[in-house]
Amino acid sequence: MAKLSKEDKIHIFEEWKLEDRGATYLSKKYDVNIAGINYLIALINKHGISILDKGYTSYTKEFKENAIRRVLLNDEAAYAVSLDLGLPNKGMLINWIRSYKENGYNVVIKPKGRPTREKLKKQRAREAEARKRRTSSPEFKAYCRKRIYKKIGCLGSKERKPTKKEIAQAVTELRQELGLGIKTILDIINDPKNDLPHLSRSNYYDILTREDQDDLKYHDMIERIKAIYAGIASKYVAPGYRVVTDHLHNEGFKVNRKTVNRLMRKFKLFGHSIKSKRKYYSYKGEERDKIKPDLVRRQFFSIRPNRLWYTDITEFNLRGEKLYLSPIIDGCGRDIVAFNISRSPNLKQVMTMLDDAFKGNSALNGLILHSDRGWQYQHSAYQQALVNHGIEQSMSRKGCSPDDGLMEGFFGILKREMFYGKEATYANLDELEQAIIKYIHYYNTERTKEKLKGLTPIQYRNQSLIA
């Protein structure tokens, strides 16, 4: 928000209010993230244009404590408190809370201005002295020598000597791990008493500047990124950096998502993106006493499996021929509990799906099964089957698909990754049906999700059952 002038902020608010411009449009036009645009509009809408005349404010300790207590003790939303207090951006209060927790639940007011030259000099001297004491101890020197011998000694084999590039990469890693200077590490490596391959300081810096830094530091990981990307893209659609990062974490790599994103962009490995198309609607009116209340209210997540299930029907249109998928998804691990594929969206399809779900899961008393208001879910046979198994039925509001957002989200993922843009690869509906069955197995057992802590739906479900 700091990059915007007062005039820019006024223009943003006027375009939103008078010209009915959306946050996405304004975000692209003014090069500000959507969350910042929404907060600015809400701030001006609540306090008026005069809030923009408020200059830099040095907030007191008491002011910060009151704001933090409102969030932590009164359970108020940080966004709402920020708006109420007229803070210039929504991140300010979040930073106060983080600092409050880091400092032992105390508000620390940092001294203004830069530290004096004298203070900096003393601080650097203390750090240098501590580093000198640590590195000069015999135990630390012995430990470093052992680590360096092991690292460099493992690079080669009886048949092959390590290349200078491999040695340079090992030196860079040792420098970060041990906190030693290049000269110290190279002196140990080049000691004539050991038989390690030698590398001069000039050779090291020559390799460092000549070779690609990413290849030097992330060589093995880059190869895995390319392999994971190619493996998933060959079966479905190109994965994004989040999916690739989850696979790397499961393989034992310790890497930040931002690093994976940067490396994928560097090698032009982009995730697939496509707009959604027209969806199938099963709503054909309402029968008296058949409509059930919305018990979920968009609180889709469940701590334990078999507490919240969601269902719906989606249509696949393959060159005029249609196929219908009716699945059940669990609110805990987002795994597909049961599904049925049919050429017609009839009652038999839904009842067969229910029977398959009941066979694989016992003791469903207290389960809530949520759906839209499709005619199948208003049918007496469907509702009686739920009653017989102690299941409570829940329905979305009329014409409100976000009320069944978890199921709609799965349909979007499914079609983006194995149907949209790939229609030509399926000769007929039988091939499409087999592809859907294979994808659901892949989705349950192989496809990781960020919201599930990098696990697959089945892995998360199994963990939840054990806990």
d(CA 255, CA 246): 10
Higher pLDDT, 249 or 204: 249
> What confidence score (pLDDT) does residue 279 get?
55
> What confidence score (pLDDT) does residue 1 get?
44
Averaged pLDDT for residues 64-85: 87
Tokens 């007929």: give the residue.
Answer: 428
Model confidence at 312, in pLDDT bands (50, 70, 90)?
A: very high
> What confidence score (pLDDT) does residue 324 get?
94
Full-model pTM: 0.47
Nearest to 287 by CA among 389, 407, 383, 388: 383
d(CA 178, CA 169): 14
Sign of CA dihedral 208, 210, 214, 215: negative
> What confidence score (pLDDT) does residue 369 get?
93
> What confidence score (pLDDT) does residue 212 get?
64
Model confidence at 200, in pLDDT bands (50, 70, 90)?
A: confident
d(CA 29, CA 26): 5
Strands 308-311 and 368-371: parallel
Tell which phi-psi region holds residue 294, choosing left (phi > 0), alpha (psi between -120 and 50) or beta.
Answer: beta
Model confidence at 439, in pLDDT bands (50, 70, 90)?
A: very high
Q: Tell me if 417 sits within 8 A of 411, measured CB to CB.
A: no
- Which CA distances in Å does 143 have to 134, 146, 195? 12, 5, 18
Tokens coding 390: 């102690």
Higher pLDDT, 156 or 399: 399
Residues 6+ apart with CB under 8 A from 105: none
> What confidence score (pLDDT) does residue 2 get?
45
> Three-state secondary structure along 391-428?
CEEEECCCCCHHHHHHHHHHHHHHHHHHCCCCHHHCCC
Q: Per-residue pLDDT for 38 more than 60?
A: yes
Model confidence at 218, in pLDDT bands (50, 70, 90)?
A: confident
Give the domain 308-466 fold.
Nucleotidyltransferase; domain 5 (3.30.420)
Q: Per-residue pLDDT for 419 more than 80?
A: yes
- Cα angle 431-442-359, degrees, rounded to a multiple of 5: 90
Phi, psi dihedrals of residue 117, rounded to the nearest 5°: -60, -35
> What confidence score (pLDDT) does residue 337 get?
93
> Three-state secondary structure along 284-305?
CCCCCCCCCCCCCCCCCCCCCC
Q: Tell me if 457 sits within 8 A of 444, measured CB to CB.
A: yes
